[in-house]
Chains A and B, each alone.
Chain A
Amino acid sequence: MSDEIVAVSGLTKRFASVVAVDDLNFNARKGEILGLVGPDGAGKTTTLRILAGILPADMGSVLVAGQDVLREPEAVKSRISYMPQQFGLYEDLTVTENIRFYADIFEVSRTVRQQREAQLLEASGMSRFRDRLAGQLSGGMKRKLGIACALIHTPQLLLLDEPTTGVDPVSRRELWSILYSLVFEGVTVLVSTAYLDEAERCQRLLLMHQGRSLFFGTPTDLKSTLCGGVLSIGSSNPQALQMATAGEQGILRATAMGDGLHIVVDDPDRRLVELRERFDRTGIPFGDIRRIPASVEDVFVYVISQQAQEAREQ
C-alpha cells in the first residue's frame, strides 16, 4: 500500500442531469503507467480534472500521494503535473520562456531549472528551437514542449489528457518511449486515450464507457475476460461471408472488415472447422481462416454485450 500513489474509490460526478463519472474505483502504483481508456464521453477528462484538483466531485474519495484531493485540492498541486488536451502552452512565448514560466510557478531553483531544461530539450531533440515561439512549432513539437513544461519540476504523478490524439505513428511511439523512461525513473503516469489499441501499451488500464468502469487490471487479464477467441478469414467479399454466418452456432459477433471477416466465437477450434465447412458450401471465395489474438475492441464490445444481456435477464 505504501507505493500506491493514486487511490480512487466511489468517485461520482454529475453535470446537471448527466452522470459524467459513476462510482469509479481504481488505483495506481509508483512507477506505473495507468491508462484511462474509452471512447468519447466515457468520463476520462472529467476524471483527470478531478484528480488534478481543478474540478470538485459529488461523491467518493480521491487520494494522491497521501493527500485528500477533494478536501484540499491545493495541497497536491506541487507534486503533480497536469497536461490538458490543449497542452497549456503560451503561443507568444518562446520555448525557453514557457519552460521558465512553469519552473517559476513550481518554484524550481535556477540551477536545477537550467540543468533539467537542458536535459529535457536534449532528450526531445528541441535544443535548437530554444528561441522559437511556441506558436510556430509543429504539432508534435508542441506536445513535446508541453511535456517538458510538465516535467520541469519532477512531479510524482503525471496526468496527461489524450496526448496521442491525431498524432502520427512515429511521434506516438516517441511519446510512449518518453513516458516509459519516466516510469523507469519512478514517476507514476496516468494517461487517457480514446484509442482502444493503446490500452495494450499500458501496464494496467481502466476501461471506461459512459462514466462507468468496464474493467480494471492488466491488458492480459482484460483479454482473458473474453470467453472464446477471434477468427480472421481473408476474402474479397466479406459481406457475403458475414451474411453466411447468420444462424451459425457460437458466433458472438461477426464484423465485415475491408479485406476479410472478423468473427468473435465462443470456441475457436471447434467453430473454425464448422465455419470452413459452411463457407465451402456457399461457394463464396475465401482465403485461410486463422485464429488471431483478441483486440481490446473485441473485448470492449464483448463486455458491453454481456452487460446488456445480464441487464435484460434481470
Chain B
Amino acid sequence: MNGAPSIVVEQLLKRFESFTAVNQVSFQVRSGEIFGLLGPNGSGKSTIIRMLCGLLTPSSGAATVVGFDVARQAEEVRKHIGYMSQKFSLYNDLTALENLQFFAGLYGVKGSALNERIAWALKMAGLAGSERSLTGELSGGWKQRLALGSAVLHRPQVLFLDEPTAGVDPLSRGQFWELIHQMAREGVTILVTTHYMDEAEYCNRLALINQGLIVAMGTPTKIKQLAINGAILLVECNPLGRALAVVKQAPGVIDASVFGAALHVAVDAARLPLPELPAFLASHEVRVDRIELISPSLEDAFVSLTGDRTFSDEAAE
C-alpha cells in the first residue's frame, strides 16, 4: 500500500425526498488498499457506490475517485473504474467469451490489447478452453471469477466489488480473494460492499454502516476490540431457556443470546472474570457446565455499535 489516497469521500450526503439514504459520510481509501463498506441491506452502501460510480449525484458533500470529481466528471470516473456484482453483471444466455467481448466493447478495449486481455481474463477465471460454455450453466465460483475478469479488462485503477461472494462455497471464495489480493499488490484500489460479516474479514480496513451513518471505522481487529467495551463469555448450561431468561439480570451482564448448546453472554470487561455468575445461575436452578472467554465477532461489534453510538478509529491508525 502506498501513499496517495485514491478515493476521497467528504461529508457525502444523499437525500431521496424526505429520506436521507447517506448521511454525511467521510472516508479515504489509499491505492492498493482493500476497503470494505459493511452494513445490512438498506444501510446506504449501495447508494454510496452508485454515487462513486457517477450514477447518482450527491445532494451535498463531495467525492473524488483517482482525482476526478464524481459529480462533475462522471465520465472520466467511469473510464477508470471497474464494477463487479456477482448477481447482476453477467448475461446468462451468452457464453463466457461473448460476455467478455461485450464488456471489452463497453469499456473501449480494442485492438491487440483486446485479445490479450480476454485471454488473460479467461486464464484467471480458469475458463481457458471452456470459453464457449454458457454463462448460465457455470456454477457460482466460476461465474464470480468471470464477472471479476469482465470488470478489469480495461485495467482500471479502482475496482468496486458489490456483494462479491455471497453464497459461494468457501473454496471458491478463497480463490477469489487471492486474485483480489494480487490486484491490490499491483496497486489497484478496491472498495467492497457487503452485508456478510465473514467477507468483511478479507478487507484491510472497514467502515460499518447503518442507516446512512458510519458507525465505526478501522481494521477488523480494531473494530472487534473497540466495539464492545467488554467481552463475550461462552456459557454452557442447562436448561437453556431458563438460563437465557435469567442471565440478563445477572450483575455485569449486558446482553445474551443462544448459540447452539450454549449462551453467548456479553459482559462488562471491567468486571471480568465475573466469578459470581455461576452462583447466580445456580441460584435460579440452572446448572453451569463450562464458562469460557471468547473473542467477539464482527457481528457482535455491529450489534453493540448500532445501539446509539457512532465510533471512529481513524485517529488511532
Contacts and interface: CB of A to CB of B under 8 A. Distances in A.
Interface of A: 38-41, 138-139, 166-173, 176-177, 180-181, 184, 194-197, 200-203, 209, 218-220, 234, 238-239, 253, 255-260, 292-293, 297, 300-301, 304
B260 A203 contact: yes
A298 B219 CA distance: 22
Given A168-B40, A168-B41, A170-B303, 12 more contacts: A39-B169, A40-B140, A169-B302, A197-B197, A197-B198, A218-B261, A220-B261, A253-B174, A256-B177, A258-B200, A258-B220, A300-B169
Q: Which 10 A-B pairs have the closest CB atoms?
A: A168-B40, A39-B169, A184-B241, A40-B167, A258-B203, A259-B219, A194-B167, A169-B302, A180-B258, A169-B299
B202 A258 contact: yes
A301 B173 CA distance: 11
A166 B197 contact: no
Interface in B184-212: 185, 195-198, 200-206, 210
A167 B210 CA distance: 12
Contact of A196 (B139, B185, B198): B198
Interface of B: 34, 36, 39-43, 139-140, 166-171, 174, 177-178, 181, 185, 195-198, 200-206, 210, 219-221, 240-241, 244, 257-261, 294-295, 297, 299, 302-303, 306
Contacts of B41: 139, 166-168
Given A168-B195, A293-B294, A194 B166 contact: yes
Contacts of B139: 41
A300 B41 CA distance: 27
B285 to A, nearest CB: 15
26 contacts: A39-B140, A40-B168, A138-B42, A169-B302, A171-B40, A172-B299, A177-B257, A180-B244, A194-B166, A195-B196, A195-B198, A200-B259, A201-B259, A209-B169, A234-B221, A255-B174, A257-B201, A258-B201, A258-B203, A258-B206, A258-B220, A259-B220, A260-B221, A297-B170, A300-B169, A300-B170
Tell which of B140, B201, B302 has the most Cβ of chain A within 10 Å.
Answer: B201
Nearest to B141: A39
Contacts of A41: 139-140, 169
A238 B201 CA distance: 12
Contacts of A194: 166-167
Contacts of A220: 260-261
A38 B185 CA distance: 31
A58 B244 CA distance: 43
Contacts of B241: 180-181, 184
B303 A173 contact: yes
Contact of A219 (B220, B260, B297): B260
Contacts of B185: 239
Contacts of B140: 39-41
B303 A176 contact: no
Given A256-B181, A258-B205, A39 B170 contact: yes
Given A40-B167, A301-B174, A176 B257 contact: yes
